[in-house]
């Protein structure tokens, strides 16, 4: 019988609007790892479910998993900030064009 190892995986929970509610480590018992596929046979500590997840998604310690959560969250924040900046530029361009149309209805706006 394979020896179980307690490992951690970062799990994201979303609300009904698709917004992140929590991002935290979750413990799993890793039973085996397939040599060719690197898929781990895992189950939750309470034996609720068994599934296959890529071994690269697991961390040896809860602290390592928290570090990964923090890095992923920082990356997500940077992506959203960049998206906001891009949308603000697009919004300003639309406002400028609308202003031009309002001021010069008979002239061509550029």
Residues 6+ apart with CB under 8 A from 51: 42, 43
Query: Mean pLDDT of residues grouped by 10 in the chain (110 residues)?
Result: 79 91 89 69 69 85 96 94 98 93 70
Q: What is the pLDDT of residue 1?
A: 45
The whole-angstrom separation of Cα 62 and Cα 27 is 8
Q: What is the pLDDT of residue 28?
A: 87
Minimal CA–CA distance to 40: which of 28, 30, 25?
Answer: 30
The whole-angstrom separation of Cα 37 and Cα 54 is 8
Q: What is the pLDDT of residue 43?
A: 74
The whole-angstrom separation of Cα 6 and Cα 38 is 17
């Amino acid at each position: 019988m394979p020896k179980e190892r307690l490992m951690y995986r970062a799990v994201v929970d979303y609300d009904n609007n698709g917004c992140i509610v929590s991002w935290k480590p979750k413990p799993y018992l890793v039973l085996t790892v397939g040599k060719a596929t690197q898929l781990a046979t895992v189950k939750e500590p309470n034996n609720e479910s068994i599934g296959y997840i890529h071994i690269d998604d697991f961390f040896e310690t809860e602290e390592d998993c928290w570090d990964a959560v923090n890095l992923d969250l920082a990356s997500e924040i940077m992506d959203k900030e960049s998206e906001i900046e891009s949308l603000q530029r697009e919004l300003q361009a639309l406002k400028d064009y609308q202003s031009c149309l309002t001021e010069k209805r008979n002239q061509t706006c550029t």
